[in-house]
Amino acid sequence: MRNILIIAHSILLGLFLTVGVNAQTIKNPGVLVHAADDEATTLDPAQVEAGEGGETVILQVYDRLLEFGPSGPELIPGLATTVPSVENGMISDDGMTYTFEIRKGAVFHDGTDVTAEDVKFSWDRIVEMDLPEGQAGVISDIVAETKVVNDYTFQVTLLEPSASFLNSTVVSMAASIVSKDAVMANGGIVEGEPNEYMAQNAVGSGPYKLKAWNRGENILLDINENYWGNKAKLAARIEIGAEPDVRVLGLRAGNYDTIETDPSFVADIEGADGVTLHTGGLLLEPIHVGFNLNIPEGALPKEDTIPTDFFHDPRIRQAFNYAFDYEAFLYGPLAGFGEFNPHYLPIGIFGHDPNAPRYGAQDKAKAEELFRAAGYWDNGFSVSVITEEANLFADAALVLKDSIEDLNPNFRINVLAVAEAVFDEAHAQNPVEYAMWVKNADPFADPHPYMSAYQHPDGEWGEVHGFANGYRNPEKIAELIDGASTELDVKKRAAMYSELQKMLFDDPMWLITAQEGVTMAYREWVTGFVHNPLWPRPSLRFSYLDK
């Protein structure tokens, strides 16, 4: 019986390896078929979470005032005809006022004209709705006032000068421009309540029109024949819910044109007939281990022996950073697709200093020296790290466990790999009742959101995790982060981030395991393939593609 099973499995493997189609036979002509990872939650720019599946559709069906171009962080005009600058007079000298000339002739999918009134309405709407799952803060944290100057001129006044306004706020999916008429005819604006119509429909002005959203099956996008810019060449169909293996099989068979995948499937894709593996570039979502400096008394799991102020000591945080086996993670779970990353400013983001010191290699001797100095070497410790199960975060937690326990038999790391919903609930507590966790960051195009959210002692997470309890000089770090956000001189700003990176090397609040590489796969018959990590995942604008 065992032999029969072995033979059967061999046949199956053989079939799998011979899978392939004639590369010349284009399947599904006229339609780009993309196999997505999961379902969208909402299509409303005022409700969508950063990094969520709905952003994939919003990118295609809505326009913003400005967009990221195809080859990186450069901004190109969207519904605004010009990228504002001090030189062209559309940014005031004090950096407080931005003027946008709105494109004449742009129309929404419902046939109404796009005007400055729609732009103001769209931006004000997200702030007024202020949904907890949405990204109202992208606008409300930075914008003091929006103003319609005339039908085709829109003006924004900021709370303070900002170096990140254009490439963080204006291009964000939350700042997509919706049809005022469509919203007002379908529920209008209610503070704190999602708009059901907008969650399930899309009335934008982008190169695609939403044709249908068949939940659990597919999302169909039609070409917008009235688009003001370069029209899409292919209609698009986003296939939802295929298992990762099925997506790979579908790509190899030519049933899918592009798929979302991860490094663990590279071996199944490499060398497949008619398939191109795109591995250029890096994702902007550093995978990190968090240290809790705000542990409530008596809250930790009973296995944990550490005191609540364990991570207040910078030597402990440094020791963890030196002890981690970066190579094991990069060349194991990431299959070599990625880079060692020094800190919270990912490679590819303005201000990243390649010469700044970094924890890119395991140094056991240094880790031992620091643990000894902190007084934990002889008696050891036990600490739990919580993470989502069955993904790269769990892998990173296991590498951490191996790294630390290999250092000293008295050290113990308990990996708690739990369902995503359980992790999200645990991580959303204030204060968090675990000493450590593993997850990734949201991607941003500007250094300020990274620094503000993840390093500032009074920032979104700095406050929750008690960073002020552990920084050697929290005032200086806060001053640098705040100063860099309003510094409009590019050189001065870069120097400030460089100094921050040096300080954060000595005083790390995270352990950055790696910066994951891009692994996209598509059929060779797809032409015009461009991938920009600054676009929401899968970082593709379908309108650029043809086949």
Binding residues for other proteins (CB under 8 A): 12, 15-16, 18-19, 21, 39-42, 49-52, 132-133, 192, 200, 211-212, 214-218, 220, 237, 239, 241-243, 245-246, 249-250, 252-253, 255, 419-425, 427-430, 439, 442, 460, 464
Identify which of residues 17 and 488 has a Cβ nearer to other proteins in the complex: 17
Give the chain's radius of gyration (CA, Å).
25
Identify which of residues 55 and 325 has a Cβ nearer to other proteins in the complex: 55
Strand-pair partners of 516: 338
Separation CA 233–CA 215 (nearest Å):
25
Identify which of residues 52 and 67 has a Cβ nearer to other proteins in the complex: 52
Identify which of residues 217 and 363 has a Cβ nearer to other proteins in the complex: 217
Identify which of residues 247 and 547 has a Cβ nearer to other proteins in the complex: 247
Return the exposure string of 172-194: e unless at least 16 CB atoms fall within 10 Å of the residue's CB, then b: bbbbbbbbbbbbeeeeebeeeeb
Identify which of residues 20 and 336 has a Cβ nearer to other proteins in the complex: 20
Least distance between other proteins and beta carbon 416 (Å): 14
* Cα separations in angstroms, 535 against 23, 71, 163, 477: 29, 11, 20, 30
Least distance between other proteins and beta carbon 23 (Å): 14
Separation CA 143–CA 147 (nearest Å):
11
Q: Are 58 and 260 in contact (CB under 8 A)?
A: no
Least distance between other proteins and beta carbon 129 (Å): 12
Identify which of residues 74 and 273 has a Cβ nearer to other proteins in the complex: 273
Separation CA 285–CA 533 (nearest Å):
10
| Cα first-last separation, the chain | 48
Least distance between other proteins and beta carbon 141 (Å): 12
Residue 86 per-residue DSSP state: T
Q: Are 393 and 440 in contact (CB under 8 A)?
A: yes
Identify which of residues 129 and 356 has a Cβ nearer to other proteins in the complex: 129
Least distance between other proteins and beta carbon 501 (Å): 23
Separation CA 132–CA 48 (nearest Å):
10
Closest alpha carbon to 417 in 454, 391, 451: 391
Separation CA 133–CA 55 (nearest Å):
13
Least distance between other proteins and beta carbon 200 (Å): 8
Separation CA 328–CA 285 (nearest Å):
19
Residue 467 per-residue DSSP state: G
Least distance between other proteins and beta carbon 213 (Å): 10
Least distance between other proteins and beta carbon 517 (Å): 22
Indicate the SS3 state at residue 537.
Answer: coil
298: left (phi > 0), else alpha (psi -120 to 50), else beta?
left
Q: Is beta strand 510-516 parallel, antiparallel or unpaired with respect to 143-150?
A: unpaired
Separation CA 97–CA 309 (nearest Å):
45
537: left (phi > 0), else alpha (psi -120 to 50), else beta?
beta
Identify which of residues 49 and 516 has a Cβ nearer to other proteins in the complex: 49
Least distance between other proteins and beta carbon 216 (Å): 4
Least distance between other proteins and beta carbon 20 (Å): 9
Identify which of residues 103 and 547 has a Cβ nearer to other proteins in the complex: 547
Identify which of residues 192 and 298 has a Cβ nearer to other proteins in the complex: 192
Least distance between other proteins and beta carbon 291 (Å): 16
Q: Are 209 and 109 in contact (CB under 8 A)?
A: yes
Q: Are 207 and 59 in contact (CB under 8 A)?
A: no
Residue 420's identity, in one-letter code, is E
Identify which of residues 39 and 309 has a Cβ nearer to other proteins in the complex: 39
Q: What single string gives the DSSP state of each residue in 223-244?
A: E-TT-SSSPPSSEEEEE----H
